[in-house]
Structure formats: C-alpha cells, structure tokens
Structure 1
Amino acid sequence: MWQLILFRGMQGLGGGAIFPIALAVVADLYTPAERGKYLGLFGAVFGVSSLVGPAIGGIITDQISWHWIFFVNVPIGLVSLVILWRLLPAIKRPEAARHIDYLGAALFTLAIAPFLVGLTNKQTGEWSDPAVGGLIIVGLLFGAAFVWVESRVPEPIVPLSLFRIRTFTVSVAAVFLAGVGFFTAVIFLPRWFQTVAGASATESGYNILPLLFGLIFSAIASGQIVARVGRYKALMFGSLLLLALGLFLFTNLHADTDRPVLWLWMLIAGLGIGPSFAVFTLIVQNAVAPDRIGVATSSLTFFQQIGGTIGLTVAGTIFASRLADEVPIQLVKAGVPQEFVDQFSAGRGALDLTGTGDLGQRILAAVPAPFRATVEPLIPNIVGGIHEAFSIALASAFWVGIVGALVAALLVLFLH
C-alpha cells in the first residue's frame, strides 16, 4: 500500500502540472477573443477524462487486471509526448531565472493532508478526538504558515497579490465551490449503481454517460457563446443554478428510482457544470497581465481540485454519518425483527458496501453457520433496507454540492 501511495504521489507531480500548463499555452497561442472557443473544448476534454477515465478503469479492472489502469498510461503518455515534441510551437520570452517555491508547496501539503484526514476520521470519531479535531487544527496552523510564507517569498506558488483583482478572487472562489458539486456527483453516483443497482464497475461507468453528454455540450457551447458575444455573467449564473437544480434532484434518490429518471437528473447536472470548466479560465486569463497568465491559470486549477477534494471529504463524512443512522431505521421499515436489527447495527462496520456483487450472499456469509437458516429468509428484507438506507445517505451528501453551487452563483454576480 505504501508503494502505491508513494508512486501515485510521484505520478501526481507530473499530472498536476499538465492541465494548467495546457490552459496557459492556449493563452499564448490565441488572442483573448479566440480563447473562449478553445477553452470550451478544453473544458469538455477535462470533463470527459474525469468521467470516461473511471469507466475505462472499470472495464480494465473487470476484464483484465487493476494493474493495467496504471500500465495503460505509459503508451498514451509516450504518444502524447511525441505529438507535443513535433507539433507544439516553441514560445520563448526573455525572462529572468525563475525560482520554485518549495517551502510553500511543502507547507501547503502539510496543511491539506491532516485537515482532510481529520475530516475523514469524523466518520468514526468526535470533534474532540485528537485524530479529528487535533488533525484539523494542525492543518489550519500549517495553512496559516503557508499564507505567511506566500506573502514574503519573491515567487510564491499562489501569489497573494492576485487576490487583489476582484475578478480573479471571485472566479477562484466560484470554481472552488462548483468543483464540490461536480466531484461529488462523479464519485458518489457510480457507488449507487454498484451497491444498489448491482451494476459492475464497467456498467456503472456507462450509466453516468448522460452526465458526460451534458458536460461536453455545455462546455463547448459556452466557449463558443462567450467568444461570439463577449459576455459571461448571465451564462455562468444560469449554469450554476442549473447545477444546483441537478444536484437537488439527486436528493430524491431512493433504492427504486428509475434509471431513466436518474439519467435525466444527470443530464441537467452535466449541463450546469460544463461552463465552469471553460469560462472561468477565460475570465481569469483576460483579467490578469500577460506575464501572470500561467500562475493565475494554475492557481485556478489548483483551487478547483482542492474544492473537489475538500467537498468529497465533507460529503463522505455526511454520507457515513447518515448511513449509520438510516440502516436500523430502514431495516425496521423493511420488516426485519428488532433483535436482528440490533445485532446487525452492532456489527455493520464489518459489512463492505463499496464492492459489487450479491450483497445478500455477502451478508449471509458473514453470519455464523448455526444461525444462517434463521437469517436466510430475512435476507431480501435486509438487502432492501440497506439499499434504501444507502440511497438516502447518498442523497444527503449532495447537499454539500447544492450549497456550493448556490453560493458560487451568487459570487458570479460580483464579476465585472
């Protein structure tokens, strides 16, 4: 496991740089009037990769081996490298030597890691626990140190001077909050298809395609609209409200929700999130000086990813807490005798609800052999109750994204 964590961290060092650099290259190659069209395509590509990647990963895991979700990146990376080497024009500027803010990067890592771990531990602990509140406080202290260092180093990774530009500050805050809603949907919806609908990892990827279609269409269309009209405030306000609507519809999720209905909800959410991947980048690039486009773009991408990470952690905590409360309630409603409900609730931590396959068989396998004959007739009721509890808990997690989308929509009104 430590090898996996270490090498994924190394992979992230390269992967984290690719997206903001690619967006900055668009600003170098095209005029402000032309950028909207191409940034719309970039937004669509980012959304596609975020959704198709897990789907392809599911296919590879189901059909070949999970090891190949890493191996497959090697030939793709080599082909991309050759294309960039041969076709990307060289852009050179007479600039002074640059210095990397290693201290700032280290402090931010030391701030975000314990903060997120503390929030995650809240699923099983209390705020007063050192592993919860203690880690969160440690993260906040390192965060304060990070801000102090960034205000003093000559070339910070997040220049605080950019936050004096209202357009940049509003865009960063809005994309941070919009990322919460997007990543919550992308991560949690496949879990519902696998756990409740009984879909394989591959099938769950297919089932979120409506979200993908909506995202692609709206990302490309928004870039074209802004490039032609030159206005974006009404577009972004409307799209974020649409995202909030789509996420609100997810709060009506139940075990018996029809898939076509859920697909429609996903399409609405996808239409709402697409413009955020294209237009905010355009807004920021046009608001800063040409020599700050690279760092401004990377900061925007940085906060979008952090927003998604923090949002997922908070949503996961809400989900786990609500699931613990709902399981006994829904088991009773499903007709499971109270004595079985009490026993099941006491041992629910041993039940894995993250995998695929027959949940009833997994539950029965965990029951001691002498009691299986007694429990077996209740398995359909138990499974039905767990599925409903899982759906309700999952639905409650989407409120994090709803609040984020609504606040982001209000922030957009302060754009110039």
Structure 2
Amino acid sequence: FLGMAAGPVVGAAIIGSVQPEDALAAAGIGGPLAAILAPAWRWVFYLNVPIGIIALTLAWAASPDWESTRRAGRVDIVGAAWFGLALITGLIGLTLVGSTEIAGTAVDPTMVTVVLLGIAAIASATAVVRGLRVRDPFLDPRLFRSVPFSSAALVSLLTGYAFATAIIGGAVFVDRVLYGGPDEQRLALGALAGATAIGALVSGLIVRFVPLQLVALAGILLSIGGLLAMSSWTPTVTIETVALGLGVFGLGFGLTVTPRSTAAVEAAGRRAFGTASAVVTVARMLGMAVGLAILTAYGSTTIDRLYDEVYATPDAYLQFIPEALRDRPLRDPLVVGALEEWASREAASIMVGLFVVAAAVTAVAIPPGLALGGRQRTRTRMLDGAPAARDATEGTAAGGPDTDGLDSPEPGLAL
C-alpha cells in the first residue's frame, strides 16, 4: 500500500515533467523506437520494469531463509483451469452487460452475456466439485465451512468492489467533472492511496489489543462515510474536498486489511496459511475486477446514450444549452462551453449514483465483518513471539485433525 500511495504522485510527476522528445531528438533517435519512447505517459509503466527486477532479485535472495510448511503433493492444473475459466467468462460477461453491439458485429450482446455467465456458473460448480474430490485441490472448498474464513473472503470481496469504485470513480470525477490536470489527480489519488497505507499500518498495530471485529467494523463504517461524502460532490466541489472524501474512504479500507487477513489465516490452519492469504487477496482483486467491469459497462452505455441525445438531430443539442445561445451553431465556443457544463453535470450525477451503490455494497460487509472472530489474548501472545509450533502440537494431541481433513485452526499468526 505504501508503494501504491507513491504511484499517483510519481505518475503525475512523470507526465508533468518528463519530456523525452527533446532528448531523443538530440540523440538522433527517430522512427518506431522514438514513437515507443517519446510519449511521457509510457514512462509511468516503464518505471515498473526496474522495480520489478529489484523485487525479483530480493525475493530470490531472501527466499531460502523463509520458513514455510512443505509437504508432498501435486499441482491441480485442471482445477486451476476451471477456476480461471470461471473468472474470465464471468468478468467478460459482466463487462458486456448493457452493451448494444460487440466490436461493430451483428452478434447479440445479450445472448453473448447470458452464454458467458452460464459458462462461468458451470465452471465454478465444476471447480468446487473437483475441489471436494481430489486429494490436493487448487482451492479446497471445505475451507469455506469456517465462518471466520468465509467472512474474511466476503469482506475482502465487497470492500474490493468499493475500492475499485473509489479509485476509478475519483479519477474520472476529477478528469471529466472538474477537468483537473495531473496536479489535481495527484492530490486526489495520492490522498486515497496514502490514507489506505496509513489505515493498513494502523490496523496491523491495533489488532494486538482490539478485537478483529471492532477494527473491521470501524474500517467499514469509515468507508461508507467516505463514499456517502463522495456522493455529495457537485461540479463546483473543490479538489481539497475531493481529496478529503477519498482519504476518509482510503483510511477505512486500510483498517479492514489486517482483520480480514488475520481472520482467514487463523481459521485455515498452518497447512493452509498460504492458501488463506491468497484467497483474501484474490477475493479483493475479484471484487475490484467486478467493480471495474460494472463501471466500464455502465460508463460506456451512458456515454453512448448521451451522445445519441446530443446528436440525434442537427438541432438536438439546443435543448441542453441556455435559451440565449440557441441561435448559435454547434461549433460556436459559447455553445461548446455550455455543452461541456451540461456534460459535467451529467457526469457528476452518474458518479453520485455509483458512489451510493458502492456505499450500499460496503454496508453489506458489516455482518461478515462482525463474524471475523479471533481470540484477542491468544493472538496477542502469538504476535509477541509465542511459538506457533507448540500450539499446533498441543491442538493435535488434544483432538487430532479436523474431520474434514484440514488442520485445526491456528490460534494466531506471527505478523
């Protein structure tokens, strides 16, 4: 999250200050290579190449000393393929919701959407059935029998949807409603990312003393408050107010990070620590992907509708501008400005609706957030360095492995 917080600031700085064209011209570089290197926005992505190399190097150098539970087993490639098929077809199907055509073809988008979502449902069911039958499944569905584990995944899914709405919706609002530039984008998105990082750090510290449920509940309520504040934005709102609303949401989202992760790994047990952590992360990414797909689908259909309204007839635009300007042609600067103001108001109303929906989705996360569980006293002892192996041995001696074949839940995770 700290790296994410730096992203908007660094990206805006690159776009605003990096001018590769002059350096390339001075070096005599032209042609296709110059076309690849010249646009400043490309360097926002190029910067990640050395960062990725450094991360890979550090991981390779440090991994021999990482302690992890290992056992013989097989990689469930077939199960992974079924899960992958479910994700791909489901997300594409959601993206096509509301579309009127597909890449200019005569194919009915509604029919394609129904088919894709049907394939996603069948693939998901197949992956679950397979997970219950094979010895080493890609994802063991029996993990979800644990209420804290399922709750952690659900909280991650729902808050991930809200996070995608906030980060994409905030950027679109600044760009299309406020007509802000790189500096405004940097302030707004930097506030969101920075507050998220602070919230995640704070949640990691206070779960030593505060039950997971209370930390998660505080984060969810803050997220809802931030989204409701964002739903009150208008075209006249200041960029500082935008940054404040995004910051409140980011702080709340960050506070939910540690509770949901801790609840999942505690419920899963030592053998499934890695799986539990991955499930929480994938659930968040899936929620973000669903949110992005819905935003894309809703945004594209709305843009098409507004375009049709303005250009339905040569004089259709007149109904959207002040009466005093209706004797002027469409390309008149005053008419263009009036249409931009109208478009700004329409975009603001669209984003308000999306923020309200995201707040409602986040509110659904309250019940599972209260079911995260976790034993505060034992968790504090684990965080303070009590040996996990001893607890696991005592648990096994007392009652053995669970009847479902999974390890007994761990009392905590040394973070």
Q: Does 1:53 align with 2:28?
A: no
8 Å CA contact 2:159, 2:365 repeated in 1: yes
8 Å contact 2:9–2:190 — kept in the other structure? no
How far does residue 112 in structure 1 lie from its aligned partner after superposition? 1.8
Contact 2:212/2:372 (<8 A) preserved: no
Check conservation: 1:51, 1:186, Cα contact below 8 A. no
Please state how far the C-alpha of 1:207 moved relative to its aligned partner. 2.4
2:97 is equivalent to residue 97 of structure 1: no
| Matched residue SS, 2:133 | coil
* Counterpart check, 1:387 vs 2:368: no
Pick the structure with more helix per residue: 1
User: SS where residue 234 of structure 2 aligns?
Assistant: coil
SS in 2 for 1:184: helix
Q: What's the counterpart of residue 276 of structure 1?
A: 256
Say whether residues 1:134 and 2:134 are aligned partners.
no
Indicate the residue corresponding to 2:233 in structure 1.
253
Aligned residue runs from structure 1 range 149-160, under 5 A: 149-160=130-141
1:339 is aligned to 315
TM-aligned CA deviation for residue 338 of structure 1:
9.2
Report the number of matched residues.
338
How far did 1:66 drift?
Answer: 3.9
Aligned twin of 2:31: none
User: Contact 1:327 / 1:385 at 8 angstroms: preserved in 2?
Assistant: no
CA distance in 1, matches of 2:88, 2:47: 28
Equivalent position of 1:118 in the other structure = 93
- CA-CA distance at 1:147 after TM superposition: 1.9
Shift of 1:328: 8.2
Q: Partner letter of residue 238 of structure 1?
A: A
Structure 2 counterpart of 1:75: 50
**Contact between 2:174 and 2:185, CA under 8 Å: does it hold in 1?**
yes
Give the secondary-structure state (helix, strand or coil) at the position aligned to 1:98: coil
1:113-160 per-residue CA deviation (whole Å, 9 max, x = no partner) reads: 222222212232399722322222222222222222222222222211
Write the distance in 1 (CA, Å) between the matches of 2:86 and 2:132.
16
Corresponding letter in the other structure for 2:358: G
| 1:151 aligned counterpart, secondary structure | helix
Distance 1:326 1:99, change over 3 A: same
**Identical columns (%):** 23
Specify the alignment match of 1:15 in structure 2: none
- Give the aligned partner of residue 224 of structure 2: 244
Taking structure 1 as the reference length, the TM-score comes to: 0.72
| Contact 1:56 1:202 (8 Å CA) reproduced | no
Q: 1:94 to 1:399 in 2, by over 3 A?
A: closer
Q: Does 1:147 align with 2:128?
A: yes
Distance 1:92 1:273 in 2: 30
CA distance in 1, matches of 2:222, 2:68: 42
Q: 1:192 to 1:128 in 2, by over 3 A?
A: closer
* Aligned equivalents of 1:377, 1:92: Cα separation in 2: 67
Matches of 1:173 and 1:374 in 2, distance apart?
Answer: 51
The verdict on how the C-alpha distance between 1:239 and 1:230 changes in structure 2, with shifts beyond 3 A counting, is: closer
Bigger drift between 74-83 and 293-302 goes to 74-83
Whose radius of gyration is greater, 1 or 2?
A: 2
Instruction: Name which of 340, 364, 383 aligns with 1:407.
Output: 364
Which one scores higher on RCO, CA 8 angstroms, separation ≥ 6?
A: 1
Structural mapping, 1:309-388, within 5 Å: 309-322=289-302, 339-341=315-317, 375-388=332-345
How far the C-alpha of 1:87 sits from its partner, in A, is 4.7
Alignment of 1:185-334 (within 5 A): 185-201=166-182, 203-227=184-208, 229-322=209-302
Maintained 8 Å contact 1:311/1:400: no
Helix, strand or coil: the match of 2:172?
helix
**Distance in 1 separating the partners of 2:8 and 2:89:** 26
TM-score, normalising length: structure 2: 0.72
- Residues 117 and 161 from structure 1, CA distance in 2 versus in 1: closer, same or farther, beyond 3 angstroms? same
CA distance in 2, matches of 1:214, 1:155: 39
Question: What does residue 360 of structure 1 align with?
Answer: none
- 1:208/1:108 CA distance change after superposition, 3 Å: same
